[in-house]
Amino acid sequence: MKLSRELLENLSEITSNSAIACFPYIGKNEKILADKAATDVMRNQLNKLNIKGEVVIGEGELDEAPMLYIGEKLGNGNGIPLDIAVDPVEGTNFVAKNLPGSMSVIAVAEEGNLFNAPETYMEKIATGNHIPSECLDLDFTVEKNIQNYSDATSKKLQDITVCILDRPRHKEIVSELLRLNVNIRLISDGDISGALAVIDKKYNVDIFLGTGGGPEGVIAASALKSLKCNFQGRFLFKSENEKQRAKQMGIQDINKKYEINEIIKGESIFCATGITNCEMMNGIIKKKDRYITETIVTYKKSYLEVVKKDVSIT
């Protein structure tokens, strides 16, 4: 059974409601409570769907997360078998401090089609669909990737913008970008939204690169694939325990580079609802007895839509 438009509408409603659950905690320095509120709503509503779902990317292992843990079964068990990836609150610090960039996210694919990513770091590079995928590669130097992008787009180096997490581990990359006179957009959090910025020129991000969360990389790849964008990832393991865990999850070559078609097989649905204002969508707006939300959805090939919902307060 293929992924349906009805399922997309159900999932966008769930991320909308999960985002709304965070509203009381915006700017209250309560990131744990905000995450719990969104997680409770997301789990409860996913369990009402006519699906046979399993969480492949979630809030952690069973001993770390009581809900939406990796391996948890969701839905009424009677419908389509699905792999489910969730991030009830991407950017918990943004919610706590009332900063832009937080959102509630779900991605789904048919069973076996969504990469079961370990809870570790991933080296990533992403671009839009306007250049050939082979132009950029994790094994290229920063200079070669930037020069290849410049050649493919006829863009001068000083007109190229690279988005990267503001982390000490990226010091050498940032230094090289500065040497090349490339524009840099540093982000404090929001690994998924940073990668999604490459989908449209209006967001003024040409390349997203650096090391971030592996699960977040898989979730972002779901949206990027639907829009025929480019993404490449490679897991980075800090310990033997992490390597053993990866092998238990089916990853035999721990040094492998994964292309987007290996991370997301077949079609997928991606939904992300803004909690606080994002570049791609507004955050939650409260008007008397109603909440207004905006959700980015991708569905099948080259389908992108911003869905606005008007929800009564009950």
Q: What is the pLDDT of residue 131?
A: 95
Q: Which pLDDT tens digit goes with each residue over 214-257?
A: 999 999 999 999 899 999 999 998 888 888 888 888 888 888 99
In the predicted structure, residue 183 carries a pLDDT above the cut 80: yes
Tell me the domain boundaries of the chain: 5-111+268-312, 121-263
Q: Is 52 a residue whose pLDDT tops 90?
A: yes
CATH topology of domain 121-263: D-Maltodextrin-Binding Protein; domain 2 (3.40.190)
CA atoms lying within 13 Å on the CB side of residue 269: 21
Average pLDDT value for residue range 43-60: 93
pLDDT tens for 149-172 read 999 999 999 999 999 999 999 999
Q: What's the pLDDT at 63? A: 56
Q: What is the pLDDT of residue 288?
A: 84
Percent residues over pLDDT 90 in the chain = 75
Let me know: does 123 contact 133? Beta carbons within 8 Å: no
Bridge partners (DSSP) of residue 105 are 87, 272
The string of pLDDT tens digits covering residues 206-216 is 999 999 999 99
- pLDDT of residue 302 exceeding 60, the answer is no
The CATH number of domain 5-111+268-312, selected from 3.90.1300.10, 3.40.50.2000, 3.30.540.10, 3.60.15.10: 3.30.540.10
The answer on pLDDT for 202 being more than 60 is yes
**What's the whole-model pTM score?**
0.92
